[in-house]
Amino acid sequence: MIMKPDKLKMKSLSLYIPVESVVKEITQLGFTEVASAIVITDAKFWIKRVFKKNHEYITVSDEIGDADYLRDPIVTICGKQKTVKALRKME
């Protein structure tokens, strides 16, 4: 079954909880990690992970390195409304 693009929602969230908790919730929702990479932007290093479940995707970007401020993982969802709602509960 091919999901029509209009059935998918696109949403980015900054979650103020540890990245391990975010990844645990994503895997409990049935997503599997399919890729990861280290990305450099604005002189900062990020680990970017991609999770997939059927036609839905979630990316988690987590800053790495020394920092004197609170870091929050950035979660971008291209998925069903129920997936967006489930992760929004973590905000």
- Under the banding of pLDDT at 50, 70 and 90, the label for residue 7 is confident
* Spatial separation of the C-alpha atoms in residues 21 and 49, rounded to whole Å: 14
Which of 40, 18, 4, 31 shows the shortest CA–CA distance to 86? 31
**Nearest-angstrom CA–CA distance, 60 and 75:** 5
- Which residue in 50, 45, 14, 19 sits closest to 32, CA to CA? 50
- pTM comes to 0.84
Interval 21-38: pLDDT, tens: 999 999 999 999 999 999
Specify the fold of 9-88: Nuclear Transport Factor 2; Chain: A, (3.10.450)
Q: Is the pLDDT of residue 4 over 70?
A: no
| Cβ 26 vs Cβ 47: under 8 Å | no
**Domains of the chain: which residue ranges?**
9-88
